[in-house]
Each structure stands twice: as structure tokens, then as C-alpha cells.
Structure 1
Amino acid sequence: MIGVLFPDPAAEAGQYVLAAMRRSVSASQAQAISRGTLRDVELDLLVAVDAPDGWSADLIAWLIARPRKLVVFGHMPLALADYLRYQAADLPAGLAAASRGASAPSGEARESAAAVRYGALAQTLGGQQWHRPFERFDFTDEWNNLGYGAIRCDGSIWSVGQAVQVPAEVELAAVVVNGERQFSYAALWDVGASSVLWFNRAVGPCDSFEWRMVEQFVSGHRPDTLPCQPVLSELPWGYDAAITSRLDCDEDIESARPLWQAYQRLGVPFTLAVHTQNLTRAEQHGILRELLADRQQGAVLSHTATHAPNWGGSYDTALAEGRQSAELLEAVTGVPVRYAVSPFHQSPPYALQGLADGGYDGCIGGIIRNDPEFLTARGGALAGLPAGFVGHSQQCMLHGDCMLKEGDPLAVFKQAFDYAYATNTLFGYLDHPFSERYAYGWQDEAARIDAHERLIAYIRSKVRKPLFLHEEAALDFLRFRSLTQIVEVDGAFRVVTPSNEKTLPLALGVEYRGAHMQVEAGKAL
């Protein structure tokens, strides 16, 4: 089991970190623990979130007692910092301004001057020499098509903590401004018989592809000498990439038909998320029924009843939006709706609770502009929400407005997939059907279809065995994975899948001690 340790002032960050760990190792294998538990429980993997200076002695004693793994997010307690030769100072005065990105013009991207730059040591944990801006936009000041959230410089849980310097040989990543190194962002120490992984942020990299390094640390780092914890893969077993996509029908549904026909030619499943005010026009109904005639290749999700910002601003309106939309869609198609897509990708916690209470099994959203807690590196259960309700962050918006004017127009979308592929992440992207009012930056339907076809061709050229899924199948898999439990009995780990869930056509994979294997329910790893 992995213990997640945090003081009450850090409870918000602690709960998000706990949820992130559970999305990787299952709910049964990550538990919030008290400080006293360090003395009483046989615990070999620990995550400490903004631990106070007064906890140093307990952490050092725990770390050196026997070979163990410690992850530290945010504040490093003073004596532990001395033990690790870690020196902290106040953040540079100009960092706050450097952390913000400008609004992106059509056809261009904008990035903050401040960024995280990974070095060669990142390869130890399955990383690469990534460049990750603090803030990045591909469409105005709303969307980051590369998928990750914002690193702030404002004292919040999403902020970088201190200007830290660690020995060069342990530094995984540094903060740079305009390419010039400022201070350390992440580090990996081998201390005696134990190892320590640190990120300079209270929530760590829980909102980014960088979370892969945390998974690799707990599941496979020094497997011959240190304890390891199995990680459930976000990719179904037997595939080296998984991809899902959809059209959000804000103003029209039927105009999605040409793109749907292109996806049929390509053999790629298709999803429509429907704003149900479109259903007042009977001519918009046929494509939904046709799409759902083959449930393996087509899916329909809710995109709310009125497309209100922030789901109408309250739990009650979110509950009503979700229920009305589901009822209307089922009346038209005869098929129950179990998943929703947030309007404007705004996904406040009260709205998610309203959806869960309204009978939904999950929601898609996530955008760098707001609700940072919904930008999760892995899909699955969310902090503060009941088991069985899942979220999936999909911030990659394939719009004409986001096609680059210079160089390869699809370069950003290819990079977004490359990040997902390198980190075993389920990749999701979206577009919108044309309406009489708005073409979403596309010159015409032919140009849009060509861009979609070229992105799919790129994906197929990069990987050996990609799996294309419609959104319902993707979320069903994430939900099944979220309800799966890893249990440890007599020193052996077993994977227990939910017996009351419908049988899925996809198998789970698990990573443990450097090996990737198919889950065989109940069998020891």
C-alpha cells in the first residue's frame, strides 16, 4: 500500500494527490494516513504533501529504517532538506509575470517565458527531455491542445513552491525563463538503501503527462532492491496506443455526416455529444439513430440541455441540465445516455456531483483556463465523488483555428499524440459540426476532413497496434479500471476486477517491477 501523508492546511492538495495515486494503483492501494502511522504500520511507499518542518525527524527515521520509496510534493521539511543537500530560497520577483502566457491568435500558439525543462536523468523514470511551459494556449486564452494544466506562481496548490537548488546529479528538471535556468523543479535521490522523488509543487505533476514518472517510480524504479507497487495501465492490454474522439454538437448535428462518412471509410468509431436544444428540429434526429444502429462503431453523449456556462452555476441547475438532456436523447434514440461532455469544458465540482446524482457514470471536460482539478493525467475516479463515476480530461481541440499557419499545420496535434503515446495515456480529441453561423476556423468541409484523415494516418504510422474507441467504450474501460482493486495478501499482489460489472471486450494490463503483463483476475503477479 502507498500511504499519502499531509497536514490539515494541505488537505485540498492532499486529496487531489490521493485521488491521482488511486487512479494509478487502485483505490485499495493508496490511503491517507496520519503522522503517527509512520511509527505503527509496515509501510514501504509514502507520498508526503507539503509536510511541515516539524515532521522531518519522523520522515528521516522512516526513510532510513529499511529500503523504501518516498515521494515529496511541494514543501520539503527542513531537516530532510539538509539530509538531501537541498537548499531553498524565495521565488524570483519576475517569475509571476514569466509564468503567464499570452492569448493565442488564430493559427498560432503562445507559451509562457517560464517553463520546466527535463534533463537526461528523466529517462531513469521513463521520461524524456521534455519542455513544459508553465502556461500555454492554442486558442485564445482557453485551450492547451497539448493537454496539461498551468503551473502557477501565486502561492496556490497549483503553484511552484520555492526557488530550490539540488545537486546537479540528482536534478530531473529545472525551471527556466527564456531558456535560462533558474532553480530545480524535480529531483531523484538514491539515499542509502532508499530512494526519494520530489516535485516543486504541492500537487506534483497530477495534471500532466509527467505523472508517468511518478508511476514509473512506484512501479519499477530499482525493482531488485526496493519495494514496488503495481500500476494499472490506462491502455487496454495488447495495444500500444488508445485513441478516442468526438464532435460536440453545439449548434447542429446533421452537418456532422460528411465527417462521419470519412470515419466510416477509415474504420474509426465516431461519437456525437449533443446539446439537446438541437433536437427541436426533427431533421437532426436521423443521424443519431443511424449512428447508434451499430453500437460498436457509434456513440451518443449528452452535451447538456442548454449549453449553459458552468452548468448553470449551481448543483440544482447541473442536475436539471443533465437529467433533461438524457431524457430527451433517450426519447429520440431509444438508447440510454450514461456519459456527458461539459459545455465549454467547464467542470466545477458541484456540476460533477449533480451528474453523479442524476445517474450519469462519468463526464468529459478539462481546460487550462478553469477547474484545474479536472485536468487529470489519468482518467478515472475524482476526489470527492463516489466510486463508479469517472472523469476524463480531453483538451485537444482539432479546429481550423488551431491549425498552424507556419510549418506543419498539424504539428501541435501530432505532438499531443506523441506525449500520450510516450506515457501510455488514452488520447482524446474533439471537433464541432459546422453550423450556419460558425465553421470553427475551417475553410470548408473538405479541408476539415483532410486534417482529420491526416492525423489518423499519422497515428497509424507511429504505432504498431493502435486502438480507436468511441467515447462510450473509452469511458466504460476507464470506469471498469477505476472499480478494479489491487490487493496484497502474504506479500503477493492480485488484481480483483468488479464482478457485478458487465463484461468488457477489452482486457486490463498492469505494470510491475519493469514488466507489463495482462491482468488475470485473482492470479498473483
Structure 2
Amino acid sequence: MIGVLSSDASAEACRHALAAVQRSVSASQAQPISRSLLREELAPDIVVAVDTPDGWSADLIAWLRARPRKLMVFGNMPIALADYLRYQRAEPSADFTATLATASRSEPAPSGEARESAAVVRYRMFARTLGGDAWHRPFERFDFADEWNNLGFGAIRGDGSMWAVGKPMHVPAEVELAAALIDGERQFSYAALSDAGESSVLWFNRPVGPCDSFEWRLVENFLSGYRAQDSLPCQPVLSELPWGYDAAITSRLDCDEGVESARPLWQAYRQLGVPFTLAVHTQNLNCAEQHRILRELLAERTEGAVLSHTATHAPNWGGTYDNAVAEGMQSAALLEAATGAPVRYAVSPFHQSPPYAMRGLADAGYEGCVGGIIGNDPEFLTARGGALAGMPAGFVAHSQQCMLHGDCLLQGGDPLAIFKQAFDYAYATNTLFGYLDHPFSERYTYGWTDEAQRIDAHKKFIAYIRSKAHKPLFLHEDAALDFLKFRSLAQVAGDGGEFRVLTPGNREAAPATASTALTLGVEYRGAHVPVQPGKPLQ
């Protein structure tokens, strides 16, 4: 079991850190613990300390020294613990604090270009110790206006919030995983991996850690396999990729203003053997000619899916919980009347996904939602799909921020370079990858010059994915979200002596909503194996 430790002052950050850990290891294997439990013989051997106070250092050091253990520290590194690890804290000046706040923000992106903040996180090759690389993560970046980041990660702030970097800290060069830079000049350490006697410590200088980025893969590898040969405790991690595949991809068109105009791209996807999804804003259903493609798509159950894109496409789901419930219920009823099939999942309008709206969707009977952009609602941007903090079991979220629009094609060099990089990050970190586009309308073509240009770009992107991955799995949204729900309900049981994975109904695989049933995989002590429900992991 993993203990997640925080004071009352950091309770909100702890909720998000706990949910992020649970999305990787299952809800049964991570829970909040009290400070006093650190002093008990029954204390867990893996702990996540979330922005813990300086005065808790002695308890954490004693816990580390008691036997081989793993500690993850998000945010504040308690001062005596920092001394124990040979980290040095620097008190920032008022000028530096103001500079960092400014440097953490990006200009909006013009059409055909990207923009990023002057402040960035740059990883060293030492990150390969945990399966990382020499990654470059801006604190904030945009590919479309001041809303979308097609590379998928959230924003690191400089405002003192739980989404911001903490106090500047400098660690020994040999343990530094990543540093924060401004205009290319190193400012302070952002992440470190230290061995302390028989124990190990992984630190990120942010109260919520990298919960909103592909960097979360470092956390999973630390938990599941780091120093397994030295008898350090390891925790099984449930893979986000179905067993037997090295990539999983889902895509869709959000039907904001048109539906039937999706047909040419659908035909191209059928020729490529790639499933197709439409998310429908139901005011489009006022025209009966928009219904036919939906019924045809759903007739091919394994190759097509239809999701709700709300009833009126209101910003922020209408601004209140009650409006979100109404938007969700009305949309589901209209779609079922038009297609004869129930709707179980939704896509947020403008990708705006405030917490009250997610609670409203769950109460309206939905099983999950797709959304997430860097411009708002940081709670929804999660490295792994699954349950959000404070949401009930059975409702899943999936962040899909990669928008394949003509507006986002680069004007210089390879027009698809950013989209390829987005997939590369997902591929390197075992992440279920999602991207989107929109059907044309009479008013708007989303930056595409014509349908031929759009189809060509989609074909080239799919060809790149297939050239990169050895065994990619393309899924429509229902199948992808069904797998995430199945994974979110699986439970890891046991302790360091013996672990078992219990799946819903002890099924071997998720329901066969895709062309084949999907098996869950688990990573543990350097091995990646298919889950055999109830059987011990070796």
C-alpha cells in the first residue's frame, strides 16, 4: 500500500496527487495517512509526501532509515530532509518571484505557429534511469490562440498555487533529473532522484507533481521497478495500454456545426481500417438530413461510436451544476431518439470541463467525459485516464488535447511536426493517445483549405503512427473509454509479499465493444505481463 501524506494546508493538492497515484496503481493501493503513522511499524514502505511542512522532517528521515523504502516528495522539500539529501534551498527575492510569474506565461499562438513560455523544464539524460529522456516541457505553451496545447500537458504556474513550482532548490548535479530555466538560463532544480542509504527519494518541485503530463511515467517507473534488484519495495502499475499493443489511439470529430459533412473523412478512415467517432452537438439534429450518417456509423458497431457534445454547446456546460445535468440529459435523449442507441459518454464543449459539470454528468447517468485544454480547468488534465479527484467510481475522464486542425499545421518545415511529437510522447510513455478534428460547416472550415487537404493530413498522420509503433491499436471512443473504465475499477490487492489484480467480475478482459476484447496489463519489478484475475504476480 502507498501512503499519501499531507497537512491540512495542502489538503487540496493531496486530493489531486492521491487521485493521480490511484489512477496508476488502483484505488485500493493508495490512501491518505497521518503523520503519526510514519512512526509505526505498520507504516507503508512507499509514501508520497505532498507539500509537507518543514517540521515533519524528523519523522520522514526516521521512516526512511528504518528499512529500505521509497519516498516521493511533491512540492516543499522539508528543510532538514533537504539537508539529509544534500539539497540546498534558496530564498527567492521579490524581483525573482515577479520574473518567474511573468516567465511562466506564454503569448497566444498565431495560426500556423506555436508559442511557449520563457520558463521551461529541461530534463537531463539522467531521466533515462526512470524511462524518461532529455525532455523539454515549457511551463505553458499554445498551438491555438491561448487555449490548446497539442502536446497534451498542463501549465506549470508561478503564482504560488498548487499548480506552481515551489521554492527554488538546488540539488547535487548527479541526482538532478530536471531543472527550471528562463530564456535558456538555469534557475533551480525541478526534479531529482536520490538514493539515501538503503532507501530512495523521488522529488518534483510542484505540490501536485507531474500529474498533468507525460512526465508521470517517471513516477510509475519509480513505483513499479526502480531498484527492484536491491529489494526496494515495488508497486504494481496497471498499464493504460491494452495488453499486447505498444500504442493505443483514439480519434473523433466534434460536430459543433455540421454532422453529414464528416462523411468524406469517415470514408477515408474506413479505407484505412481505422474506427471513427462523432461527438454530436444535438442542435445539429434539427435537420433530419444530419441523422443518416449517425445511424450508418452505429450500424458498424465495432468501427463507429457516437458521443454527446451537449445540447446547446454552452460554454462551461451552462455555468452551473443544474445546467450541466440538463445539457447532458437532453443531449442523451435526443441522440437516442435519432439513432436508437443509448449514449454513455460525452465530450465537453470547448473542452471546458469544470468539476461541477463532471458531477452533473455523473448524476445525469453518463459513464465518462472527454475534454481538457491548457487554457482552463487544470483538474481535468490528467496524465492517465480514469477517476478524477472527488468523483465516484465508475465515471472516467480522459484528457485529449491534441487538435488536428488546419490552423495548427506549421507553416515552416513539416506541417505535422507537432502532432508527430505529441504521439511520440504518448508512445514513449505508454499513454492512450487521443486527437480530434471537426466536420466542416457553411460558416467555418477550421483552418483547412478544403476537404482534400484535411484528408491528406489525417492519412499522413495515421501513416506516421503506424510507422512508429510496432503494434498500434486504433479504437473508437466508446471502446477506449470502456477500457479506461474497466481499468479504473480493477483493484490491486496484497502487499510486497504477494500482489493480485482483481478485475470487475473477475473477467479476463474488458467487454468486447471493440473488434476484440481488451486485456489489462500490469507492470511490476521490471516485468510487463497480462493480468490473470486473482492470480499472484511473480
The match for 1:121 among 118, 126, 135 is 126
Instruction: Tell me the equivalent position of 2:289.
Output: 283
SS class of match (2:229): coil
Deviation, 1:451, is 0.3
- Deviation per CA, 1:144-187: give whole Å up to 9, x if none: 00000000000000000011101001000001111111110000
Q: Which residue of 2 aligns with 1:274?
A: 280
| Equivalent-residue separation in structure 1 for 2:64 and 2:496 (angstroms) | 23
Q: How does 1:44-59 map to 2 (within 5 A)?
A: 44-59=45-60
Alignment of 1:442-453 (within 5 A): 442-453=448-459
Give the counterpart letter for 1:5 in structure 2.
Answer: L
Match of 2:228 among 204, 211, 223: 223
- Report the AA paired with residue 513 of structure 1: R
Q: Which residue of 2 aligns with 1:522?
A: 534
1:279-428 alignment, distance < 5 Å = 279-428=285-434
The alpha-carbon deviation at position 90 of structure 1 amounts to 3.2
Q: Using the alignment, how far apart are the partners of 1:377 and 1:168 within structure 2?
A: 27
Write out aligned runs for 1:168-247 (5 A). Answer: 168-225=173-230, 226-247=232-253
- The CA deviation string for residues 460-515 of structure 1, in whole angstroms up to 9 with x for no partner, is 00111000000000000000000000000682000000118873400000000011
Which residue identity does 1:503 align to in structure 2?
P
1:39 equivalent in alignment to 2:77? no
1:124-163 equivalences under 5 Å are 124-163=129-168
Q: Which runs of 5+ in 2 are unaligned?
A: none
SS at match of 2:227: coil
Give the letter aligned to residue 289 of structure 1. R
* In structure 1, C-alpha distance between the alignment counterparts of 2:352 and 2:44, rounded to whole Å: 38
Task: Judge conservation of contact 2:407–2:447 (CA < 8 Å) in 1.
Answer: yes
Report the residue type matching 1:382 in the other structure.
Answer: L
CA distance in 1 between partners of 2:19 and 2:412 (Å): 40
What secondary structure is seen at the aligned counterpart in 2 of 1:187?
Answer: strand
1:379-428 deviation line (CA, Å, top 9, x unaligned): 00110110000000000000000000000000000000000000000000
The equivalent of 1:83 in structure 2 is: 84
RMSD: 1.0
What's the TM-score once normalised by structure 1's chain length?
Answer: 0.99
Distance 2:369 2:38 in 1: 37
Partner of 1:141, secondary structure, is coil
Give yes or no for contact 2:233–2:496 (8 Å, CA) kept in 1.
no
| Matching residue's letter, 2:11 | A
Specify the code of the residue in structure 2 equivalent to 1:340: A
> Is 1:3 aligned with 2:35?
no
Opposite residue 269 of structure 2, the aligned amino acid is Y
**CA deviation profile, 1:79-102 (whole Å, cap 9, x unmatched):** 101111111123424111111110
Moved more, 178-187 or 63-72: 178-187
Question: How far apart in 2 are the matches of 1:14 and 1:138?
Answer: 31
Residue identity opposite 1:376 in structure 2: T
d(CA) in 1 for partners of 2:35, 2:182: 37
Note if 1:479 corresponds to 2:485. Answer: yes
Q: Could you say which residue in structure 2 is the equivalent of 1:72? A: 73
The match for 1:460 among 457, 466, 489 is 466
Q: How many residues were matched structurally? A: 525
**Paired residue for 1:99?**
104
One-letter amino acid of the counterpart of residue 520, structure 1: Q
Structure 1 unaligned residues grouped into runs of 5+: none
Residues of 2 paired with 1:469 and 1:208: CA distance?
22
What is the CA–CA distance in structure 1 between the aligned matches of 2:100 and 2:320, rounded to whole Å? 35
1:198 CA displacement = 0.2
Indicate conservation of the 8 Å contact 2:253/2:437, yes or no.
yes
TM-score for the superposition, normalised by structure 2: 0.97
1:507 aligns with one of 504, 516, 519: 519
Equivalent position amino acid for 2:146 in 1? D
> What is the CA–CA distance in structure 2 between the aligned matches of 1:375 and 1:214, rounded to whole Å?
17
Runs of 4+ in 1 over 4 A off after TM superposition: none
The 2-side partners of 1:353 and 1:137 are apart by 28
Alignment partner of 2:202: what SS?
strand
CA gap 1:210/1:489 in 2 versus in 1, 3 angstroms: closer
Structure 2 counterpart of 1:75, one-letter code: N
Whether the 8 Å CA contact 2:234–2:496 is kept in 1: the answer is: no
SS of equivalent to 1:181: strand
Letter of the aligned partner of 2:511 in structure 1? T
* Alignment map for 1:14-33 (pairs within 5 Å): 14-33=14-33
Aligned partners of 2:521 and 2:530 also within 8 Å:
yes
User: SS state of the match for residue 487, structure 2?
Assistant: helix
1: CA distance, partners of 2:187 / 2:463:
40
Q: Deviations for 1:221-252, whole angstroms, at most 9, x for unmatched residues? A: 00012010000000000000000000000001
